[in-house]
Amino acid sequence: MAGTIKVKFYALLRRRLNTTAIEVEADGISLLELLTRTEQLAGQRFLDELLDRKTGLLDGTMILVNGENVRLQRNLETRVRAGDRVDLFSPAGGG
């Protein structure tokens, strides 16, 4: 059996899904693929808070793979592997 990737939800996403994390059985797929599977497992749509399917990540969306923003990697094409941790933050701010 392949290992799992831990997808963590924060802020408004957490409230919307009413859960803090989902484990997705996967290895060596793209971030977009992972997010699509996560949405299916969550049983409700939430990706519209993070991305636009045509233009990619929304301004202000923060997705970290093992603590590193995917914008510094390959955005939605970033490869994710079993054992990785993915943090999802919809746009947020403060000061």
Taking alpha carbons only, the member of 91, 61, 57, 59 closest to residue 74 is: 57
The verdict on 43 binding another protein (CB under 8 A) reads no
Single-letter amino acid, residue 62: M
- According to CB under 8 A, which one of 24, 51, 61, 78 is a site residue for another protein? 61
**Is 68 within 8 Å of 74 (Cβ atoms)?**
no
- According to CB under 8 A, which one of 21, 62, 73, 79 is a site residue for another protein? 62
The whole-angstrom separation of Cα 20 and Cα 82 is 19
- According to CB under 8 A, which one of 4, 12, 29, 47 is a site residue for another protein? 12
Scanning 23-31, 36-44, 67-75, 76-84 for contacts with another protein by CB under 8 A, the matching segment is 67-75
Give me the phi and psi of 38, to 5 degrees please: -65, -40
The verdict on 37 binding another protein (CB under 8 A) reads no
- According to CB under 8 A, which one of 2, 6, 11, 36 is a site residue for another protein? 11
C-beta atoms surrounding 92 within 10 Å: 11
- Report the run of H or E that residue 38 belongs to, with start and end: helix 31-42
Interacting residues toward another protein by CB under 8 A: 10-12, 14-15, 49, 58-62, 64, 66-69, 71-72, 87, 89-95
